[in-house]
Homo-oligomer: A and B are copies of this chain.
Amino acid sequence: MKITLAQINYHVGNFEKNSNLIIDAIRKAKNDKSDLIIFSELSLTGYPPHDLLEHRDFIEKCNDYIDLVARECRGITAIIGAPSINRKSSGKKLYNTAYLLNEGKIRDQINKSLLPTYDIFDEYRYFEPSTDFKVIDLKGKKLAITICEDLWDEQGFENEFSSSRMYSVSPMKELAKLKPDIIINISASPFAYNKTENKLRIFTDKAARYKLPVLMVNQVGANTDLIFEGNSMVIGPGGNIIDMFPAFDEHIASYELSDITDSQSDFKYQPDRIEMIYSALVLGLKDYFDKMNFPSAILGLSGGIDSAVCLCIAVKALGAQKVRALLLPSMYSSENSVEDAVDLSNKLGVRYDIINIESSYRVIIDSLSEVMKGTSPDVTEENIQARLRSLLLMSLSNKFGNILLNTSNKSETAVGYSTLYGDMAGSISVLGDVYKTDIYKLADHINKDLNIIPQSIIDKAPSAELRPDQKDTDSLPDYEVLDSLLYQYIEMQKPVSEIKGHNITRDLVKKIINQINRNEFKRYQAPPILRISSKAFGIGRRMPLVGIY
């Protein structure tokens, strides 16, 4: 039996495009004499469709497209992912389903049993969990078809304080009783640089445990904040990785089942963390612009490292012709900030303009003088500069259709070291899930081949340049210390008493956590953030605003 795996970049809700991609792949697989082609979870709708699933016409339209795809399945069987209607008298309206299509129609349906409902996942919001388990006979082989989380039954929690497993059901244990010959898993498993090893182990362990080959097909590409790395896998019954699909790229390949069963090859996947993050951000940004049909991007280039790295990523993702920079110096900008920004723009071949904000700033301050009589300068005047910059950036955005990129990093977003409606503005945050210390590593990575980012940008002490001689370290600890503390609190959810490390005192922990929590109201209004970690700010982290903690 010949089996094709199709790792494809789907666009949420775009049935026309998704079905075309699926049908093209089916036709090619048929030409290759493949018996079975496998697509990823919710491939027809794209993942995640969110509350579109609550709209009846969305589901009806989806059903029409399933029929359309099914009509292509003659002489070949396809497994595609899509929601299906729950026809029972009770339970959630839908199932998260793997459709088995052949002979021009829907032959069978397998419904997802374990519904991830944590972090960025909301599946129990829409889907009824399946409690039926069956295998599918195809050409004399029994297929155990599972949907993503169905194979993740043994995962624990980030932060364990009670039960050690999230699920009390093990779909594969049930399916094993039915003596399958092969395990298929259709996934939509988003990228997180600190989850890669864990993900590999989940699948290789299952193969080894049940002594069965595992074919895992993952979605690739980004839908808004979520980036899917692909990395679909063919695993032998010994738990050996026979083939792994590329990360962050579409790919289709076919395998003889007997080759999989016999192969002794064992691929070791040891990706470079920073390279992964870089590729993820490039794809995430590219897909955001492609799928939103945005023509071009703009960003404020300050001469600092965050906007420099962001510009390099934007140029890689969109091309220099589709990116423009705006330099917005004030009386507090250091001389070489403008020089460095111009230098970088020229090296990248990006159009830049310079608007000095000083005269506008002075008139605004003047118009406020009556109301603010008797007060002293404070953070207000700093925020006016930041908001004036975003006003000017948004003006160009409105006038020319350049979409504003937000260049804030995760460290400053965490502690609220940023101005709401000022440097927090933007259609998408490119670096909001990247800690400052990793921004430097990204800069090194970018400079490895071509020395694009001027060394003076990398070397200068981080500063918002909103008052004379301001430095980030005036109010924050060193970023090495801060980032370690933040990671332990945000990603690892450690209690205060367990957050430790070089120069991390109990007082500092309390102060920083307090700062993180006090700034929830700012992050509530932040743009979507390209997610590269297991816990990004945004829909995956839901902290109360009104809350004492």
CA A86 – CA B495 in complex, angstroms? Answer: 19
B395 contacts A380, CB within 8 Å? yes
- CB within 8 Å for A399 and B421 given contacts A52-B543, A359-B367: no
CA A528 – CA B526 in complex, angstroms? Answer: 12
A224 contacts B13, CB within 8 Å? no
CA A12 – CA B208 in complex, angstroms? Answer: 46
Report the nearest B residue to A16, measured CB to CB.
Answer: B548
A392 contacts B380, CB within 8 Å? no
Interface check A287, CB cutoff 8 A:
yes
Interface check A59, CB cutoff 8 A:
yes
8 Å CB contact of A367 from B122, B161, B357: B357
Interface check A138, CB cutoff 8 A:
no
For residues 315 through 334 of chain A, which have their beta carbon under 8 Å from a beta carbon of chain B?
none
Interface check A539, CB cutoff 8 A:
yes
The total of chain A residues at the interface (CB under 8 A) is 108
A288 contacts B224, CB within 8 Å? no
Contacts of A370 in B (CB 8 A): 353, 355
Interface check A269, CB cutoff 8 A:
no
For residues 131 through 166 of chain A, which have their beta carbon under 8 Å from a beta carbon of chain B?
157-166
8 Å CB contact of A544 from B52, B166, B383, B526: B52
A159 contacts B359, CB within 8 Å? no
CB distance from A283 to the nearest CB of B (A): 13
For residues 295 through 320 of chain A, which have their beta carbon under 8 Å from a beta carbon of chain B?
none
Interface check A255, CB cutoff 8 A:
no
Interface check A105, CB cutoff 8 A:
no
For residues 5 through 24 of chain A, which have their beta carbon under 8 Å from a beta carbon of chain B?
11-14, 16-17
- Could you write out 27 A-B pairs with CB less than 8 Å apart? A12-B544, A12-B548, A13-B544, A13-B548, A50-B547, A52-B543, A52-B547, A54-B158, A54-B493, A55-B159, A55-B549, A57-B495, A58-B549, A87-B162, A89-B163, A93-B157, A93-B160, A93-B163, A118-B125, A223-B544, A288-B546, A364-B395, A368-B395, A368-B396, A372-B395, A372-B396, A427-B521
